[in-house]
Amino acid sequence: MIFSLIFLVSLLISVIIAVLIKGLPSLSWQMISQSPVGGYYMGKGGGVLNAILGSIYLASISTFFSLIIGLPVVLYMNIYKKGNSKFSSFIRLSMDVLWGVPSIVFGAFGFTVMVFLGLKTSLLAGAITLTIMILPVIIRAMDEIFKTIPQGMLDASFALGATRWETSIKIAVKQALPGITTAILLSFGRAIGDAASVIFTAGYTDRIPYSALKPVASLPLSIFFQLSAPVQEVQNRAYASAVILTIIILIISIISRILYSKYDKHRVNG
């Protein structure tokens, strides 16, 4: 057990150190404040601001979409239906299957939908594809939280004459709020780190995103392109992009921790 633990921790540390050693020398203010100069593939100048903003837009929009689609589903599964009903079990199984589908399949599916709708590679198309990809993640993560709400608490609300809607919004969501923030973070992390589902749908560009219907860059893809460039300097920039991506995820984690403890105040241990 202890060896597994040591292996795990050393693996984590070595990944971070490798990225930092290779990435830090190329990391500069320019990297995060400018768009690429000389093309994203061969360019040695400028930065990856296009990809930073593109990734944040893609992940935020898709997380937002998946939340407004996912939350009603989870409420229906747990408050309107019994959490252990056949319906809820069926949704749970479907979501588990979807969770296991590789993201390139979602990319291909998103591409088919795009062609069908006549949409070009764009921020919108990328965000829609990512939404489909992270829906199972956010639904299952929130579902696990809502399942832990004691039935007695819901009954207490019903017994006061509250409707299912009032119970859902004013009681269940409030009790689950810390868990919901964690689910949002998890989905955001999944969305911002994925390359395969955006490669056909969001495309890539040197420009900073300016329209929902135009292509946007993303950090995982910029890492991919820079790493496959035949120039050493550009390859090093890939590690710098990786550092930036890691830092963004770190910041999101910290924010979610802060929100968690803030919302945890009123939660009742069941």
Partner 1 sequence: MAKTIEIENLNVFYGNRHALKNINMIIPENKITAIIGPSGCGKTTLLKCFNRLIDNNEGVKVTGKLLVDGENIFDPLAEITHIRKKMGLVSQRPFPLPMSIFDNIAFGPKIHGEKNKAKLTEIVQKSLQDVSLWDEVKDRLNTPASRLSIGQQQRLCLARGLAVEPRFILGDEPTSALDPISSKNIEEKFIELKTKYTLIVVTHSLPQARRIADYVIFMYDGEIVEHGTMNDVLDFPKNERTKEYVFGKIS
- Provide, rounded to whole angstroms, the least separation between the CB of residue 86 and partner 1: 9
What is the x/- site pattern for partner 1, positions 250-269, by CB under 8 A? ---------------xxxxx
- Grouping H, G, I as helix, E, B as strand and the rest as coil, residue 36 is strand
Please report whether residue 89 would count as binding partner 1 according to CB under 8 A.
Answer: no
Sequence-separated (6 or more) residues with CB below 8 Å from residue 211 = 122, 123
Q: Site size for partner 1, by CB under 8 A?
A: 25
Burial of 108 (0-12, 13-18, 19+ CB in 10 A): middle
Q: Give the amino acid at 167.
A: T
**From 16-24, 93-101, 164-172, 199-207, span contacting partner 1 (CB under 8 A):** 164-172
Nearer to partner 1, 163 or 228 (CB): 163
Please report whether residue 160 would count as binding partner 1 according to CB under 8 A.
Answer: yes
What is the x/- site pattern for partner 1, positions 172-201, by CB under 8 A? --xx--------------------------
**From 139-147, 154-162, 191-199, 202-210, span contacting partner 1 (CB under 8 A):** 154-162
What angle is formed at CA 170 by the lines to CA 164 and CA 171, rounded to 5 degrees? 80
- Provide, rounded to whole angstroms, the least separation between the CB of residue 202 and partner 1: 39
Give the tokens for residue 228. Answer: 């496959």
| Residue among 17, 18, 82, 231 that touches partner 1 (CB under 8 A) | 82
**From 17-25, 35-43, 125-133, 145-153, span contacting partner 1 (CB under 8 A):** 145-153
Give the tokens for residue 11. Answer: 């693996």
| Residue among 60, 166, 235, 246 that touches partner 1 (CB under 8 A) | 166
- Provide, rounded to whole angstroms, the least separation between the CB of residue 137 and partner 1: 25
* Integer Cα distance of 219 and 181 in angstroms: 23
Please report whether residue 162 would count as binding partner 1 according to CB under 8 A.
Answer: yes
Nearer to partner 1, 130 or 176 (CB): 176
Q: How many CB atoms lie within 10 A of CB 206?
A: 17
Please report whether residue 123 would count as binding partner 1 according to CB under 8 A.
Answer: no
Backbone angles phi, psi at 37, to 5 degrees: -110, 130
CB 224 within 8 A of CB 5: no
- Provide, rounded to whole angstroms, the least separation between the CB of residue 188 and partner 1: 24
- Provide, rounded to whole angstroms, the least separation between the CB of residue 66 and partner 1: 24
- Provide, rounded to whole angstroms, the least separation between the CB of residue 266 and partner 1: 5
Give the tokens for residue 174. Answer: 């409030």
Query: What sections of the chain are H helices per DSSP?
Result: 2-23, 29-33, 49-75, 86-100, 103-117, 123-147, 151-159, 164-166, 173-193, 219-228, 232-263
* Integer Cα distance of 67 and 177 in angstroms: 13
Contact positions toward partner 1, by CB under 8 A? 81-82, 85, 150, 152-153, 155-163, 166, 170-171, 174-175, 265-269
